[in-house]
């Protein structure tokens, strides 16, 4: 399995409605697609979205990293030496975690194809289906309540609610409205996307506890770099606190785990640089008794399929945030993970299970 060529394309897919968080508003899913071709006719698929405000990666920087830095490393290498390849990719340049993730998932796609196993079985095979939550974008309380009702009627029983935009009092109104609309049985997760100050976070979470809003967890309440503040929030409230933007690398995960700064960790391939490093983060967390969630940016079904394979493979990954493909107006991908409401299942075909080798032509350009 010698790598013979690397193909790179762009895609831009409109969303059904704007996706709003404390950090950004997104109307299109824009990403770089990568196709790694081997001498035996196999193709490995990968994807990296542009999420400048979180990862610092733009379409141009992702494309440049893949074409100018990673491709020379890949050409002529045997995929069977994938540990060697992925180590070289990760240490060839700093940052560019999204570009690294795209290459990483394509390599894992190829090696699991070679082994004749779906990727989740190659990685551990702990479960063969998942249930995703659904995200409620940050808007006025009444609109968020209406959105929540619609998602619950569509079969979703876990809602991830975006807050942190505006003032804390309005965030409390948002959560109160959603809880009154969906009832007591639906799980509510809150994601502040770094939108609160430490004291605001402690005050608002305690208020939600006193109001009996029954919040499952609060994700990244404070700035990513404020590990001490994150720990202060975690220690001050009963509701579990999840680190997201605070944890990109295994080294950052080690710091959070060592200081017990969070109760949970959200792993994303675009932060970790792919499955190779994401597994290290999960293993470290598991040894410390800390469960993980795996989520995604605004990605199409290529990247989400790779992340879902990882999530299905590991016992310690207990929560799943994979609704991104459901937010898109168009889905031109053949194969990969399948959705029936909130339930996600995997094809029995080896690798990622993606079969459309011409992907991206309808919505992007070949570079």
**Is residue 364 situated within a structural domain?**
no
Query: Cα–Cα distance between 245 and 263 in angstroms, integer?
Result: 14
Which residue, of 78, 95, 116, is where some domain finishes? 116
Residues 261 and 212 both lie in one domain = yes
**Is residue 253 situated within a structural domain?**
yes
What local confidence, expressed as pLDDT, does residue 357 receive? 46
User: Full-prediction pTM beyond 0.75?
Assistant: yes
Structural domain that includes position 300: 121-345
Residues 78 and 155 both lie in one domain = no
What local confidence, expressed as pLDDT, does residue 166 receive? 78
Residues 68 and 149 both lie in one domain = no
Which CATH number characterizes residue 336's domain?
3.20.20.120
What local confidence, expressed as pLDDT, does residue 355 receive? 87
Q: Point out the residues of the chain with pLDDT beneath 50.
A: 357, 360-367
Residues 173 and 316 both lie in one domain = yes
Residues 290 and 202 both lie in one domain = yes
C-alpha distance from residue 49 to each of 33, 102, 328 (Å): 9, 9, 14
What local confidence, expressed as pLDDT, does residue 346 receive? 97
- In 3D space, the residue among 322, 285, 279 whose CA is nearest the CA of residue 304 turns out to be 322
- At 118, phi and psi to the nearest 5? -55, 145
Q: What is the pLDDT of residues 118-169, one digit of tens each?
A: 999 999 999 999 999 999 999 999 999 999 999 999 999 999 999 998 789 9
**Is residue 150 situated within a structural domain?**
yes
Which CATH number characterizes residue 22's domain?
3.30.390.10
Number of structural domains the chain divides into: 2
Q: What is the pLDDT of residues 245-301, one digit of tens each?
A: 999 999 999 999 999 999 999 999 999 999 999 999 999 999 999 999 999 999 999
Per-residue exposure over 202-239, b if at least 16 CB sit within 10 Å of its own CB, e if not: bbbbebbeeeebebbbbbbbbbbebbebbbbbbeebeb
- At 34, phi and psi to the nearest 5? -125, 140
Q: Is 111 helix (H, G, I), strand (E, B) or coil?
A: helix
Residues 139 and 247 both lie in one domain = yes
Residues 177 and 317 both lie in one domain = yes
268, 297 in Cβ contact below 8 A? yes
Query: Cα–Cα distance between 188 and 136 in angstroms, integer?
Result: 10
Residues 185 and 320 both lie in one domain = yes
Residues 13 and 111 both lie in one domain = yes
Residues 210 and 161 both lie in one domain = yes
Q: Provide Rg for the chain, Cα atoms.
A: 20
**Is residue 352 situated within a structural domain?**
no
Residues 290 and 149 both lie in one domain = yes
How, if at all, do strands 129-131 and 343-345 pair? antiparallel
So which residues are the catalytic ones? 162, 268
Question: How far from the centroid of its chain's Cα atoms is residue 341's Cα?
Answer: 19
């Amino acid at each position: 399995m010698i790598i013979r060529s690397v193909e790179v394309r762009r895609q831009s897919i409109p969303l059904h409605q704007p996706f709003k968080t404390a950090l950004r508003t997104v109307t299109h899913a824009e990403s770089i697609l990568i196709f790694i071709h081997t001498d035996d006719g196999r193709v490995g698929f990968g994807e990296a979205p542009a999420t400048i405000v979180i990862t610092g990666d733009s379409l141009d920087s992702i494309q440049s990293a893949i074409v100018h830095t990673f491709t020379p490393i890949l050409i002529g290498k045997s995929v069977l030496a994938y540990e060697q390849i992925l180590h070289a990719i990760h240490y060839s340049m700093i940052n560019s975690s999204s570009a690294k993730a795209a290459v990483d998932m394509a390599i894992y796609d190829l090696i699991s194809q070679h082994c004749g196993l779906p990727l989740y079985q190659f990685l551990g095979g702990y479960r063969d289906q998942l249930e995703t939550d659904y995200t409620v974008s940050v808007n006025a309380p009444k609109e968020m309540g209406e959105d929540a009702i619609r998602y619950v009627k569509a079969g979703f029983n876990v809602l991830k609610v975006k807050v942190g935009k505006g003032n804390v009092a309005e965030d409390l109104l948002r959560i109160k409205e959603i809880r009154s609309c969906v009832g007591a049985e639906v799980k509510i997760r809150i994601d502040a996307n770094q939108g609160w100050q430490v004291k605001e976070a402690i005050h608002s979470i305690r208020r939600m506890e006193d109001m009996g809003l029954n919040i499952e967890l609060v994700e990244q309440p404070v700035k990513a770099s404020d590990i001490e503040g994150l720990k202060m929030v975690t220690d001050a409230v009963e509701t579990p606190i999840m680190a997201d933007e605070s944890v990109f690398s295994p080294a950052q995960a080690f710091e959070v785990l060592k200081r017990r700064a969070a109760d949970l960790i959200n792993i994303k391939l675009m932060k970790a640089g792919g499955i190779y490093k994401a597994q290290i983060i999960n293993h470290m967390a598991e040894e410390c008794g800390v469960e993980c969630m795996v989520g995604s940016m605004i990605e199409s079904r290529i990247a989400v399929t790779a992340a879902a394979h990882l999530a299905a493979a590991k016992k310690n990954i207990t929560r799943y945030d994979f609704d991104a493909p459901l937010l898109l107006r168009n889905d031109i991908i053949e194969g990969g993970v399948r959705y029936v409401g909130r339930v996600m299942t995997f094809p029995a075909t080896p690798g990622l299970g993606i079969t459309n080798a011409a992907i991206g032509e309808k919505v992007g350009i070949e570079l």
